[in-house]
Amino acid sequence: VLYVGVGGGMELLQFAYFSRRKGGVIGVDVVEEMLEASRANFKIAERENDWFAEEFVELRRGDALSLPLADASVEVAAQNCLFNIFKEADLKRAVAEMYRVLKPGGR
């Protein structure tokens, strides 16, 4: 699962709940402070939830317009609210990037 625009990492935790495997979720954000906030929240989540391990989520610094992933490398690509801030041309590029990294038949 790829999630773009991680914020504080709460959506990543939701995806990790269903994946529950090392590296099962990849979070990408261009803002280092958001990646740091996610890491801090994952430490808390691991202490407070028997089911969660930080290794379930891999965080990467990167841009939605040029995702740091190989072509056809994920089965699910998601975002929430991030694309609301893009102008039309950038929105098309960001959506094209998400399609680029999806495996055939991905969602």
CB 31 within 8 A of CB 64: no
pLDDT digits over 16-26, tens only? 999 999 999 99
Q: Give residue 21's pLDDT.
A: 96
Domain that holds residue 47: 2-101
Mean pLDDT in residue range 45-49: 98
Whether 87 is covered by a domain: the verdict is: yes
pLDDT reading at 62 higher than 80: yes
Number of domains in the chain: 1
Q: pTM surpassing 0.85?
A: yes
Whether 106 is covered by a domain: the verdict is: no
pLDDT digits over 28-41, tens only? 999 999 999 999 99
